[in-house]
Amino acid sequence: MSAPMSDNAAGEAAGLALETDLGWAIRMVSSAFSRLATASVADLPGGARAYLILVALADGEPPSQLALARAVSLDRTVLTYLLDDLEDHELVSRRPDPRDRRARQVLLTDTGRTRLSEVRQKLAAAEADLLMDLDEHDNLQLRALLARVARTAQDNITASDVDC
C-alpha cells in the first residue's frame, strides 16, 4: 500500500494534467485544425503550403522569393516548385525586382485573390467548427494571443533553420 500524497505533491500532480499541458493543447488543436482545414485547401495546387503563400502575398509590397521563403518558413527550392505550380494555375506571377534585377518579386494575380477569398470562406467555416465553444471575445483573444506567440516563434527562426 502506498503512502498518501502530500498536499504539495497532489498540487504538482494536478499541474501535470494533460488539460493544463501546453504541448498537449497545441497538438490537439493543430491536429484538429489540420483535419478540418485540409479539405478547405485541397483544390489549391500545393494545398496548405500554397494557401500560406497566397496569404503572405495578399497585402503589402510584393516580396522577393527569398523574403517569401523566410516569411512562410519554406526552403527556397520547395518554394520555387510551389511558385511554378501556382504560376501555371495563374494564381501568382513573378517579375524582376526593380531594385535588384537578380531577384524576383512574387505577385498575387486577380485569379489568385479570388481563389484565396474562396478558400478563406471555407477555412472560416472550419475555424468556426473548431472554436464553437468560445464566445466572440474569447475567440478574438485566442487569435490575438496565438498571433503574438507565432510572431515570437517566427522571430526565433534563423535563416539556417529555413535553409535559405
Task: Map grid coordinates 465553444 to a residue.
Answer: 133
Residues 90-120: pLDDT tens digits?
A: 999 999 988 888 889 999 999 999 999 999 9
Region 23-46: mean pLDDT is: 90
Question: Which pTM value belongs to this model?
Answer: 0.71
Closest CA to 62 of 100, 103, 108: 108
* pLDDT tens per residue, range 42-86: 999 999 999 999 999 998 788 899 999 988 989 999 999 999 999
* Cα-based distances in Å from 110 to 37, 90, 141: 23, 9, 32
Query: Could you give the CA distance from residue 73 to residue 82 in angstroms, rounded to a whole number?
Result: 13
Domain boundaries, the chain: 30-157
CATH of 30-157, one of 3.90.420.10, 1.10.357.10, 3.30.1330.60, 1.10.10.10: 1.10.10.10
